[in-house]
Amino acid sequence: MKLDPFKKTMIMISVVVVFSVSLVLNVRNFDLSHSEGFCVFDRDCSFANSSCIGEYSVCTNNLEKYENLSAGVCEIVPDFPSNKGYQCECLQTLARCGWAK
């Protein structure tokens, strides 16, 4: 059975799209909550206020912004990304600081 060129092209495009999307989704399991800033390398991102993992903690490219922050009461947030096994790093496909497993 021979496929016409249009159908053959559409099938090939579909396979490439499905493969590309699944590859991107499987390579990086990430979370952008409690994060800010753009980056190029992992060293561009830091976990600010990591001593109190809660609402005042953030994965950022601007650590100086948080160096004098006093949270007062440390409120632990159980579903904070680092509590779920994520690491603060540069999500290079997005060029953003964020949390990745």
The count of domains in the chain is 1
Rounded (5°) CA angle 12-91-21: 15
Domain with 54, as residue range(s), is 34-101
| Residue 44 in domain | yes
Average pLDDT of every residue of the chain: 79
| pTM, to two decimals | 0.66
Residue pLDDT, tens place only, 32-62: 999 999 999 999 999 998 777 666 789 999 9
Percent of the chain residues topping a pLDDT of 90: 42
| Residue 19 in domain | no
| Residue 52 in domain | yes
| Structural tokens at position 58 | 């953030």
Distance, in Å, from the CA atom of 58 to the CA atom of 7, rounded to the nearest integer, reads 49
| Residue 6 in domain | no
| Residue 42 in domain | yes
